[in-house]
Amino acid sequence: MTTLKGPGIFLAQFLGNEPPFNDLKSICKWARSLGYEAVQIPTWDPRCIDLKKAATSKTYADEIKGIVEECGLKISELSTHLQGQLVAVHPAYDSLFDGFAPEEVKGNSKARTEWAIQQVKYGAKASEHLGLTAHPTFSGALLWHTFHPWPQRPAGLVEEGFKELARRWRPILDYFDECGVDVCYEVHPGEDIFDGITYELFLEAVDNHPRACLLYDPSHFVLQQLDYLAYIDHYHERIKAFHVKDAEFNSTGKQGTFGGYQSWANRAGRYRSPGDGQVDFKSIFSKLAQYNYTGWAVMEWECCIKHPEQGASEGAGFIRDHIIRVTEKAFDDFASSKTNHKENRRLLGLE
C-alpha cells in the first residue's frame, strides 16, 4: 500500500490577467499560501511555460522547475489537454476546436493535427526534462457525434474510428516510451475514450501499449452514472494521475444525463467543488492507497456555483484530510504468535 502525494492543484482554471494569477511565480506563491504542495501546469498557457522551449532546452526546463521549487512546491505533471484534443477532431467540430489552435493552423485541419501531435510530443520531452513520469491529456474524438446514434451506426464504423485514433496516437505513445513518461488519458465525455469500454477498445487498437494509461477523475463518471469505485478495481494498474473533482447528479421529470441543452447550473449532472457533490472520496482514497497509486492527488476546480478562490482555499485541506497514511503493521499484531511449523501442522490435524 502507498500513501498518496498531495495536495496538488491544476492551475488551468485559475490563471488570469490580474495578480497573483498572471504568471507562474506569483500563482505558485498563491497556491503555496493555501497549503498546496504541487502544481499541475497547463502547457498551452504562455503565462506558465513555453512548452517547445521546455522540450528543447533542459536549461529552460530547470529554470521552470526552479521557479516552482523556490515557491516551496513541486510540479506534479504537465498537461496537454487542449493539444491532445486536437490530435483527432471530427470535421463537424473544426470551427469550434480551432479556438484551441494558434492562428497559423486555424482553418487547416491537417496542419492543426500535425501541430497538435508535435505539441503532445513536446509534452513528453519537457516532462522528461523535468523528471516527471505521468502526463495528462485528452484523446480527441472522431466518433463522439455517434455516441447515441440515430440513424444507427453502420457496421464497422466504431472499429474504423478506433483504428484511426490508434494510428495517430501510436507514434506518440512510442515517443513517450522513449522519454520514460506515461500518457494519462482523461476519460471524459466528448472524447472517444469516455468510459471503460472505449478505453479497452483503444487499448486493443494500440496493442495494449504500456504507456497508454489513465487520469482518474470520478466527476465524469457521476455524470455518466458509471460505477467509479469499480472502475478503480478494473483499471488501477493503468491509473497514473488523479483529479480530485466533485460532481452531483439529480435527475428530474424533465431532464437526465443529456441535460436538455441547459447551462451547467441548470443541468441534472453538474460539477462541484470537492466536498460539495456526491463523490465518495473516502472510498476513492482508500482504494488508490490499497492499490499502490504512487502519483499526486490534484484538485481540479470546475464548480458552477462556488467562487474559484473559495474552492481553491478549501481544496488543499479537503485533499489533505482524505490522504491516508498507510499502515506498516496489522491492527492485530499485538495478538500474534511466532511462527512454529510443528504447531501449525498440529493445528491442522497433521501431527
pLDDT digits (tens, 9 = 90+) for 262-285: 999 999 999 999 999 999 999 999
Q: What is the domain partition of the chain in residue ranges?
A: 5-347
Q: Average pLDDT for residues 228-236, to the nearest whole number?
A: 98
Read off the pLDDT of each residue in 291-309 and give the average, rounded to a whole number: 97
- Which fold does the domain 5-347 belong to in CATH? TIM Barrel (3.20.20)
Report the distance separating Cα 33 and Cα 130, nearest Å.
Answer: 23
12-26, 96-110, 333-347: least confidently modelled range:
333-347
Q: How confident is the model at residue 50 (pLDDT cuts 50, 70, 90)?
A: very high
Sign of CA dihedral 149, 150, 156, 162: negative
Residue 178 CB coordination number (10 Å): 12
d(CA 79, CA 156): 33
Count the Cβ atoms, other than its own, within 10 Å of residue 285: 21
Residue 103 in this model has a pLDDT that exceeds 70: yes
pLDDT in tens, 168-205: 999 999 999 999 999 999 999 999 999 999 999 999 99
pLDDT of residue 334: 62
Let me know how long the chain is: 351
CA 236 to chain centre: 13
Q: In what order do the strands lie in the sheet with 134-137?
A: 74-79, 38-42, 5-10, 296-299, 239-244, 212-216, 182-186, 134-137
Which DSSP category does 240 fall into?
Answer: E
* Distance (Å) of CA 170 to CA 47, 117, 123, 209, 278: 31, 11, 15, 8, 36
Higher per-residue confidence, 300 vs 334:
300
Pairing verdict, β 212-216 and 269-272: unpaired
Does residue 259 carry a pLDDT above 70?
Answer: yes
Tell me the C-alpha distance between 82 and 99, whole Å: 10
Listed in sequence order, the residues at least 6 apart from 274 whose beta carbon sits closer than 8 Å to its beta carbon are 244, 245, 246, 281, 299, 311, 314, 315, 318, 319
pLDDT band per the 50, 70, 90 thresholds, residue 346: confident
Looking at residue 221, what is its pLDDT?
Answer: 98
Judged against a pLDDT cut of 90, whether residue 333 lies above it is answered with: no
| Residue-level pLDDT at 332 | 66
Query: What secondary structure letter does DSSP report for 89?
Result: B
Do residues 296 and 241 make contact, with C-beta atoms less than 8 angstroms apart? yes
**Confidence check: pLDDT of 338 > 90:** no
Query: Is 170:163 a contact under the CB 8 Å cutoff?
Result: no
- Whole-prediction pTM value? 0.95
Banded pLDDT at 335 (limits 50, 70, 90): low
Could you give the percent of the chain with pLDDT greater than 90? 93
